[in-house]
Amino acid sequence: MPERVKVSFLGGLGEIGRNCAVVEQGGRLVVLDCGVMFPNPEMPGVDLVLPDFGWLTERAGDVDGIVLTHGHEDHVGALGYLLRNVQAPIYGSPFTLGIARNRLEEANLASSTTFVPVADGERRTIGPFDVEFIPVTHSVPYGFALAFHTAQGVILHSGDFKLDLNPVDGRRTDLARIGQIASDEGIRLLLADSTNAEEPGYTGSESTVGGSMRTIFASHRESRFIVACFASHIHRIQQVADAAIMFGRQIALLGRSMLKNVAVARELGLLSIPDHAFVEIEKAGDIEPGKLCVISTGSQGEPMSALSLMSSGESRWLSVTEGDVVVLSSHAIPGNEWAVAKVMDGLSRKGAVVIHAGIAHVHESGHARQGELSTLLSIAKPHSFIPVHGEYRHLLCHSRLAIEMGVPATEVLVCEDGDVITLGDEGIDYAGEVSSSYVFVDGLAGDVGTGVLRDRRVLAEEGIVVAVVTLDRKPGGLVGGPELVSRAFPSEPGHEDLAQAARTAVQKAVEVAAADGSPDPDAIRRVIRRAIGRLVNDRTRRRPMIVAVVVEA
């Protein structure tokens, strides 16, 4: 009887970001993508959210490889954290590995990591699997769908993809190969990108953005241009550069990741921009506005990005002035809308003409819409289907689409983060769970627990009250205080009163608790917190953080 195959989902199912799954056979593991998620406003002070690698760390010795579908942060951004504890070679296209290497260099792990570049259509034995790397078109060059040839048949993971018949680099999603696998071996299980599963129709070709770029350049010939897009969107950068060069402009790159990614892409021959078309950003100020185009990071409104600094007048390199044209060639990731709007407002105040995807065709999605998802389903004809990469409603929508396309409802599983499924001779089924907790990273401070985050939310929304008392060892001995200090807590008229009442309440509570002469500081802290908490909640309906400090005299 052929061995069972398991798939564990560590992230990306029920949220956009931190994509990571593990495929297992005979006790051996292959990790599929290893991404981060960007924090939402409920995560104050958090820089990144990672999958929980605890389970993988425990099984570090069983990991035979890490395969990457493409170079976006939500697929490769967490490698520097996983590889601290799990050593395994990384497989991906040369461009994807170039981005991954940058990430690992920052984490000082690049020299101890084996990178295995794979070409379009190549097959590699990785652990127990024969893994096939199938070209797909996406908003970053050289994305792959992955076909795992397993003991239980082929598991096809679409990666992030769209069906672009006229992609900028001519590299289309290889539907023919997918169809061939479907008819030769059959596709046992399809896992497919659900990002745009709610959207009817087809995503437009990336090459259409080039046309509208040219139109915009043509109608602002005298203005300085600043175009912001994702630093990994090499095809977008190519089209912006082509339009700029066509209108006699030089190109300056702004933003660390923009410089790094463009360097990787040029080295691999994925970008064709002649050397002489570039000008260093340091010299950009000397160039006539009509002869310059700056291509910049910051299209998501990231606070420290080049564009954000320009909008607040803090950029070292450029100050945006009247008549400049700023193009946001992007779409805000959910959660970033507010930050992007703020940047656009800042730029408008400085007199710039701001052009964004809401008013001109300066962006196309990299993800398949319903028409394309149905096309993939009709070509792959999967026996079973699990939607991946999306918020819950996207997954649900995609699962309905699969049923409409003829996959039996019993063969369509809607999974969430942490779910494990098993493929056996008897069929597909849920098979338990692994931890899918959010792991929060706060800059150099390292991992932040959920407790810290809860405290931060309380501090942000309710404020803090600190009570300090000094205790004597004698019975009933409150010798000093209580002193009360509050921050981020309302101080309207009438609250003087509240402070006095709180002092009295604390005094009474401490006297009762310390009456027997052996005051236990922990118990005293508890009664103080309770006394203040009750009073404040009764009078103000607030629940500030209450910190009691007991000093023994």
Residues within the interface to Zn ion (CB under 5 A): 72, 74, 160
Work out how close the CB of 262 gets to Zn ion at its nearest, in angstroms, rounded to a whole number. 18
Decide whether 190 or 284 has the Cβ nearer to Zn ion: 190
Decide whether 127 or 387 has the Cβ nearer to Zn ion: 387
Work out how close the CB of 338 gets to Zn ion at its nearest, in angstroms, rounded to a whole number. 22
Instruction: Tell me how far CA of residue 73 lies from CA of 20, 21, 108, 182, 362, in angstroms.
Output: 12, 15, 18, 31, 22
Question: Do 469 and 550 touch, CB atoms closer than 8 A?
Answer: yes
Q: At what angle do helices 370-380 and 175-184 cross, to 10 degrees?
A: 40
Decide whether 160 or 174 has the Cβ nearer to Zn ion: 160
* Alpha-carbon gap, residue 177 to 135, rounded angstroms: 9
* Alpha-carbon gap, residue 289 to 287, rounded angstroms: 6
Work out how close the CB of 36 gets to Zn ion at its nearest, in angstroms, rounded to a whole number. 11
Cα-to-chain-centroid distance, residue 295: 22
Give the pair of three-digit tokens for residue 293. Answer: 């185009």
Decide whether 72 or 356 has the Cβ nearer to Zn ion: 72
Work out how close the CB of 503 gets to Zn ion at its nearest, in angstroms, rounded to a whole number. 55
Instruction: Tell me how far CA of residue 434 lies from CA of 20, 27, 58, 156, 423, in angstroms.
Output: 12, 15, 12, 22, 17
Work out how close the CB of 506 gets to Zn ion at its nearest, in angstroms, rounded to a whole number. 53
Work out how close the CB of 136 gets to Zn ion at its nearest, in angstroms, rounded to a whole number. 10
Work out how close the CB of 343 gets to Zn ion at its nearest, in angstroms, rounded to a whole number. 23
Give the pair of three-digit tokens for residue 168. Answer: 């900028």
Decide whether 5 or 388 has the Cβ nearer to Zn ion: 388
Decide whether 18 or 529 has the Cβ nearer to Zn ion: 18
Decide whether 74 or 132 has the Cβ nearer to Zn ion: 74
Work out how close the CB of 208 gets to Zn ion at its nearest, in angstroms, rounded to a whole number. 19
Say whether 68 sits in a helix, a strand or coil. Answer: coil
Decide whether 195 or 212 has the Cβ nearer to Zn ion: 195
Q: Which helix (H) or strand (E) segment is 394 a member of?
A: helix 392-404
Concatenated DSSP letters for 526-538? HHHHHHHHHHHHH
Decide whether 74 or 324 has the Cβ nearer to Zn ion: 74
Decide whether 181 or 388 has the Cβ nearer to Zn ion: 388
Residues 6+ apart with CB under 8 A from 464: 486, 487, 488, 489, 544, 545, 546, 547
Give the pair of three-digit tokens for residue 51. Answer: 């999958």
Work out how close the CB of 331 gets to Zn ion at its nearest, in angstroms, rounded to a whole number. 13
Give alpha helix (H) positions in 111-206: 175-184
Question: Do 22 and 88 touch, CB atoms closer than 8 A?
Answer: no
Decide whether 158 or 308 has the Cβ nearer to Zn ion: 158
Question: Do 327 and 225 touch, CB atoms closer than 8 A?
Answer: yes
Work out how close the CB of 366 gets to Zn ion at its nearest, in angstroms, rounded to a whole number. 6
Work out how close the CB of 508 gets to Zn ion at its nearest, in angstroms, rounded to a whole number. 58
Helix, strand, coil percentages (3-state) for the chain, rounded to 5, are 35, 25, 40
Say whether 211 sits in a helix, a strand or coil. Answer: helix
Instruction: Tell me how far CA of residue 152 lies from CA of 63, 183, 324, 381, 423, in angstroms.
Output: 20, 16, 59, 16, 7
Question: Do 273 and 235 touch, CB atoms closer than 8 A?
Answer: no
Decide whether 224 or 260 has the Cβ nearer to Zn ion: 260
Q: Which helix (H) or strand (E) segment is 8 a member of?
A: strand 5-11
* Alpha-carbon gap, residue 541 to 21, rounded angstroms: 44
Residues 6+ apart with CB under 8 A from 67: 30, 31, 32, 33, 90, 91, 92, 126, 131, 146
Work out how close the CB of 230 gets to Zn ion at its nearest, in angstroms, rounded to a whole number. 10
